[in-house]
A and B are shown apart, each in its own frame.
Chain A
Amino acid sequence: MSQSEVKLLEVKDVEKIFNVNISTFKKKDLHALNKVSFDIYKGTTLSLVGESGCGKTTVGKVILGLYQATEGSVIFRDKDIAKLGPSQRDNVQKDIQMIFQDPYSSLNPRKKIKTILEQPLKIHTKMTKEERKEAILSLCDDVGIDYSYLERYPHQFSGGQRQRIAIARAMMLKPELILADEPISALDVSIQAQILNLMMDLQEKYNSTMLFITHDISVVKHISDYIAVMYLGEIVEYASKKELFANPQHPYTKMLFSTVPDIHTPLATESVLKTGEIQSPIDLPIGCFFQNRCLYKDKNCELEHPDLTDLGENHLARCPRIGSF
């Protein structure tokens, strides 16, 4: 984290606990987020990486106001929005926009594309009809949507085109912060590259800031400036992209790297079967959350929950045994 840059968003010790039914008469706490803290700097991209169930989408929803944090604060433009719903956020809301994973369910099937794109302008701005039309057309050029698409309905488009429309909708208000939740994982490989390149071009043009949420660590290399790896509701490693890819430290990050399929590496060996699955966030273990899947575990890991420690150059990792394996 270079201090010269301007903080746009500050997430501080955010906790989110859901009280879930585990049987008819019994409820338990599900710790979706455990003291998550990070900053996002203006004009940069932070990627949150982790498996399903690690809480990465919950972070996005708390920032967007779809969930209210149980504890902690989310500071955006000097205002704590962690416990405010979308309607209580006044003019903050229009500066945070979201791109969802599935372009099939995120566009209203009964509305024409032009109506979908116009909606944010109608709600958040005082533009006249003419101005709105102009704004839509100029964004269509940026995103690569043909003008003739505007009169059509979402079902007439392929996944990649729909995702372009969803991106256009998110960019309509020129938001300061874009939350992209797995924006390419529902798309074909050849389309993924197109959408990733488009998002990078738009970010450059509008100098927007992005929180990119994904489970695929191979994708984040191209788009991120900083990367936070999450496991069971907490950040286990944080570093700049360059540092993390050159020098991953936490055993979980190493495991993620080793399991990415790549044409130049052979299939993982027998040891991959020992890595198990993510455990339930109900009844978290006392010690390190990663202990039951860790290849380097020792006795201490069961007793003490490790803190995020600085390894220098703003490379943070949550493991006391780094350097000893």
Chain B
Amino acid sequence: MALLEVKNLKTYFFTRSGVIKSVDGTSFSIEKGEILGIVGESGAGKSITGFSILGLIDPPGKIVEGEINFDGRDLVKLSQDELQKIRGNEISIIFQDPQTSLNPVISIGKQLMETILYHRKGVSKKEAYNSCVEILKTVGLPAAEKRMKSYPHQLSGGMKQRVVIAMALLNNPKLLIADEPTTALDVTIQAQILYLMKKLSKDFHSALILITHDIAVVSQLCDKIAVMYAGRIVEYGSKEDVIFNPLHPYTKGLIECLPKLNDDKKRLYQIPGIMPSLLGLPEGCYFKDRCEFADEQCDVYPPRQEIDKRIVFCHKVK
């Protein structure tokens, strides 16, 4: 059985200007120890998918339909108190900006220890301290004991992100959700953090959901990839299939428009136009206005097709 199975998840925001269908019927699953990448542009609903799993949707947002089956429980039906016991314990999340995800007026050590003391009753402060130092060493932070006394502003961006990763791993979670974990970092540091996340998720046997806009990052790290566009998954399959044999025109475009190091042509391939506003989605396929293959058939939203274990939503794929 899959560790996490999301079925037909719909998270809508009921705003004054209308209903925003941020996540509109996504389904995917992840096994123990697997790495799933969710790729898409800003506004595609990838972060909201992650937040929905953790029950972090605030009004006017609401999960209106769907199931999130995690380890035998449906997370949608749980109360906030029950979710609180799962968050930071069985499922933890790493946010994009390490600057804002740490409390600036509390020392690193205290913030780390809080995670243990909150979730594991009967653990002494001394034991908590020791496991915090241990985990800081695991994520490769030099002078771990000294860092326990530091405040976030005394660390660089890369070091802060390591602390955040350490914090997420403290309780040995079954599932780790990383929302754009390296976007705020330099490429050299990004490479280090990505390597670390892959290694640690293997060592800790955690499943990992990596949410990012960068398809190159996803291709280096993930086993499975889901491509999201305007709130819906348009293509979902194994990394090899999606990256090296993309079927959906949007996935093809995303891969094509990456700047490549070993490519001499001057102009870059570009997908024309922009993603439609979630308040004014077109009839039929959401991608049709940007798609070179679109015709009148695309005025109806394409049905789900399964081709060799890959799921794709496009009329033009046979």
Residues of A at the B interface (CB closer than 8 Å) are 51-52, 158-161, 188-194, 196-197, 200, 215-219, 221-222, 245, 255-263, 265-270, 272-273, 275, 277-278
Contacts and interface: CB of A to CB of B under 8 A. Distances in A.
B187 to A, nearest CB: 5
B257 A193 contact: yes
B290 to A, nearest CB: 8
Contact of A189 (B159, B258, B266, B267): B258
Contact of B220 (A196, A216, A265, A275): A265
Contacts of B274: 158, 160-161, 191
A246 to B, nearest CB: 10
Interface string B13-42: 000000000000000000000000000011
B228 to A, nearest CB: 12
B212 to A, nearest CB: 10
Interface string B177-191: 000000000111111
A260 B195 contact: no
A160 B220 CA distance: 27
Contacts of B259: 193, 196, 216, 218-219, 221-222
B210 to A, nearest CB: 12
Nearest to A51: B186
A188 B195 contact: no
Interface string B191-223: 110111010000000000000011111011100
B79 interface: no
Contacts of A265: 220
B268 A222 contact: yes
B100 interface: no
Contacts of B159: 277
Contacts, number: 128
Contacts of B255: 263
A161 to B, nearest CB: 7
Interface in B122-157: 140, 156-157
Nearest to B266: A222
Given A190-B257, A261-B191, 6 more contacts: A51-B186, A190-B41, A221-B260, A263-B243, A263-B255, A272-B192
B257 A192 contact: yes
B267 A222 contact: yes
A267 B190 CA distance: 11
B260 A262 contact: yes
5 contacts: A191-B41, A193-B269, A196-B268, A262-B216, A267-B191
Given A190-B253, A200-B266, A259-B187, A277 B220 contact: no
A249 B140 CA distance: 29
Nearest to A267: B220
A270 B263 CA distance: 28
Nearest to A159: B42
Given A190-B253, A193-B269, A265-B220, A216 B187 contact: yes
A189 B257 contact: yes
B291 interface: no
A170 B256 CA distance: 29
A319 to B, nearest CB: 17
A267 B195 contact: yes
Contacts of B272: 194
Closest 10 CB pairs of A and B: A259-B191, A261-B216, A193-B257, A193-B270, A193-B268, A188-B41, A51-B186, A263-B219, A267-B220, A190-B271
A26 to B, nearest CB: 16
A263 B262 CA distance: 12
A262 B263 CA distance: 12
Nearest to A274: B192
Contacts of B253: 190
Interface string B261-283: 10100111111101000000000
B237 interface: no
B268 A261 contact: no
Contacts of B220: 261-263, 265-267
B214 A260 contact: no
Contacts of A272: 191-192, 195
B199 to A, nearest CB: 8
A260 B187 contact: yes
B254 interface: yes
A270 B194 CA distance: 11
A263 B187 contact: no
Contacts of B192: 268, 272-273, 275
Q: Which of B157, B213, B261 has the most CB of A within 10 A?
A: B261
B195 A270 contact: yes
A262 B187 CA distance: 12
A191 B40 CA distance: 12
Contacts of A190: 41, 253-254, 257, 270-271
B221 A267 contact: yes
B41 A189 contact: yes
B253 to A, nearest CB: 7
A49 to B, nearest CB: 10
Given A197-B270, A267-B220, A267-B221, A218 B260 contact: yes
A260 B156 CA distance: 20
Contacts of B231: none
B98 interface: no
Nearest to B267: A197
B158 interface: yes
B37 to A, nearest CB: 12
A255 B188 CA distance: 8
Contacts of B214: 189, 261
